[in-house]
Structure 1
Amino acid sequence: MDFLRPSSLTEALAVKAERPDAVPIAGGTDVMVELNFDHRRPGALLDLNRVTELAEWTETDGKIRLGASVPYVRVIAELGEVLPALAMASRTVGSPQIRNRGTVGGNLGAASPAGDTHPVLLVLGAEVEAASVRGTRLIPAEEFYLGVKRNALEPDELITAVHLPAEVGPQQFAKVGTRNAMVIAVCSFALALHLDTREIRAAVGSAAPTPRRATAAEEYLGTELPWSTKASLTDSVKRRFGELVAEAASPIDDVRGSADYRKHALSVLARRTLTWAWNDFQKGERECA
């Protein structure tokens, strides 16, 4: 196995064009596990740790460009105010050691249905920046996930950044695991209330071959939320929203949980996160759950 270590983005893209079989590695929290268990044996590893351009984030005109190699710990510390749901999801990732190394870019590259950040990227309307020697393109998050551990990247492309709107309104993320910490999600859920458009976005994770939007649940809330009065939500609205979120999933039975349990848990997470997000809207401020 070849180990390739470019020192700039230009060099990294040139190497990827020459060696499309090379697997990118930055934090290594997914790739190294696959190598250790001999689930994968690529012809080359493309080490991106010396590519400083990937480890930066910027904000321009209310939009965050998050470099693919910015670790979770920095998302939590530096972007919690403007990307609260992404910070919430980042806090649930693995151990402190994993959060120091793991990245949103790596989560996207792995494209596991259980990836914690995926539902958040969907509800925020994120775009994935993919680059190659041929140029750069933006892929909407909803078009990026093609199947279990399959994404829309071309063989010569690298994920260079993720583009997200800053502070669209109340946001929440929650997940259920087989224990309270350092756990792969049995299921997860993200919710965002876009105050400028009064649009509701909801997405489920670890409950289908890919993370997905719960569009019927979104449409239902669009007709039920009392935006103008900020009145409290009735139990019947929360319950129906939870039911529609569960219907959006197509889970399987596995060692972490049954399909029925995942659907039940999603309905509970949907009700809870809706309550938290609406409370934040009523108060005119945001509080982490």
Structure 2
Amino acid sequence: MEFLRPASWPEALALKAEHPAAAPIAGGTDLMVELNFDRRRPPVLLDLGRITELTEWSETDGAVWLGAAVPYQRIITELGERLPGLAMASRTVGSPQIRNRGTVGGNLGSASPAGDAHPPLLAADAVVEVASVRGARTIPITEFFLGVKRSALAPDELIRAVRLPVAGGPQQFSKVGTRNAMVIAVCSFALSLHPARGTVGTGIGSAAPTPRRAPAAEELLAGELSWESPQPLPESLLIRFGELVAAAAAPIDDVRGSAAYRRHALAVLARRTLAWTWQDYRSGRWSRCA
């Protein structure tokens, strides 16, 4: 196995073009597990650790540009108020050691249906910025995942950053697992309220071949929520929202849980997160993670 360590972004793109089968590595929290268990044996490893721009973030015009190699721990400590949903999800990733190494870019690169970062990115309408020697392009998060561990990345492309708006309303993330962290989710759910445009965003994880949204559930709330004079939500609305979220999933039976359990759990998570975010909106108190 060949090991390449570019010193700049242009050099990394050139090496990726020369070696399309090269596996990028930054934190290595997913890839090293696959290597250690001999589940994957790429011919080339492309170490992105020396490219400092990938470890930076910035805010412009109400949106955060998040470098692909910014670790979860920094999202928690530096972006908890700007991106509360993503910060909540970051808190549930692995152990402190994993959170200090693991990155959203790596989570996207592996494209696992169970990736903890994926539901809040979907709920927030994130955009993935990718590049190759042919140029740069952006991929809406809803178009990024193509199948189990398959993404819209071309063989010669690398993930440079994720762009997502600063939270304009309350956000939540919840997952079901044997523990709160250090566990692959049985299922997970994220919810973002967007009061300025009168909409909500959803994200479902570990309950379909790809992370996905629940469009029918989003449409239900867009027509039912009273943004100008928020009132307590009727139980019937919470229940119907949970049903539509569960219906949007396509779970399977596996060692972590049955399809029926995943649907039930998603309905519960959806009801709870909606109740929490709406109460935060009504009270003027948004959930903070830092």
Q: Secondary structure at the match of 2:197?
A: coil
Query: For the Cα contact (< 8 Å) 2:27–2:106, is it kept in 1?
Result: yes
* Aligned residue in 2 for 1:190: 190
Q: Is residue 44 of structure 2 the alignment partner of residue 25 of structure 1?
A: no
Q: Distance in 2 between matches of 1:187 and 1:288?
A: 23
Q: Secondary structure at the match of 2:75?
A: helix
Return the TM-score normalized by structure 2. 0.98
Q: Which runs of 5+ in 1 are unaligned?
A: none
- Once the two structures are superposed, residues 205-250 of structure 1 have per-residue CA deviations (whole angstroms, 9 ceiling, x without a partner) of 1000001110111111112112222110011110110011000001
CA apart distance, 1:51: 0.7
Q: Is residue 114 of structure 2 the alignment partner of residue 117 of structure 1?
A: no
Q: Distance in 1 between matches of 2:82 and 2:88?
A: 12
* Aligned residue in 2 for 1:211: 211
Task: Write the mapping of 1:260-279 to structure 2, written as runs, cut at 5 A.
Answer: 260-279=260-279
CA apart distance, 1:285: 2.2
Q: Secondary structure at the match of 1:213?
A: coil
Q: Distance in 2 between matches of 1:187 and 1:168?
A: 26
* Aligned residue in 1 for 2:64: 64
Q: Secondary structure at the match of 1:137?
A: strand
Task: Write the mapping of 1:231-250 to structure 2, written as runs, cut at 5 A.
Answer: 231-250=231-250
* Aligned residue in 2 for 1:179: 179
Q: Distance in 2 between matches of 1:118 and 1:47?
A: 23
- Once the two structures are superposed, residues 109-134 of structure 1 have per-residue CA deviations (whole angstroms, 9 ceiling, x without a partner) of 00000000101111111000001111
Counterpart of 2:161, as a letter, is A
> Please, what is the CA RMSD of the aligned residues?
0.9
CA apart distance, 1:288: 4.5
CA apart distance, 1:179: 2.4
* Aligned residue in 1 for 2:50: 50
Q: Which runs of 5+ in 2 are unaligned?
A: none
Q: Distance in 2 between matches of 1:40 and 1:287?
A: 40
Q: Secondary structure at the match of 1:196?
A: helix
Q: Secondary structure at the match of 2:196?
A: coil
CA apart distance, 1:105: 0.2
* Aligned residue in 1 for 2:138: 138
Q: Is residue 148 of structure 2 the alignment partner of residue 148 of structure 1?
A: yes
More displaced, 141-150 or 179-188? 179-188
Counterpart of 1:12, as a letter, is A
* Aligned residue in 2 for 1:223: 223
Q: Distance in 1 between matches of 2:212 and 2:163?
A: 18
* Aligned residue in 2 for 1:102: 102
Q: Secondary structure at the match of 2:226?
A: coil
How many corresponding residue pairs? 289
Identity across matched positions, percent: 70
* Aligned residue in 1 for 2:168: 168
- Once the two structures are superposed, residues 244-264 of structure 1 have per-residue CA deviations (whole angstroms, 9 ceiling, x without a partner) of 100000100000000000000
Q: Distance in 2 between matches of 1:168 and 1:11?
A: 37
Counterpart of 2:211, as a letter, is P
* Distance 1:2-1:89 versus aligned 2 partners, 3 A rule: same
Q: Distance in 2 between matches of 1:180 and 1:10?
A: 39
* Distance 1:281-1:124 versus aligned 2 partners, 3 A rule: same
Counterpart of 1:96, as a letter, is P
More displaced, 279-288 or 206-215? 279-288
Which stretches of structure 1, 4 residues or longer, exceed 4 Å deviation after superposition? none
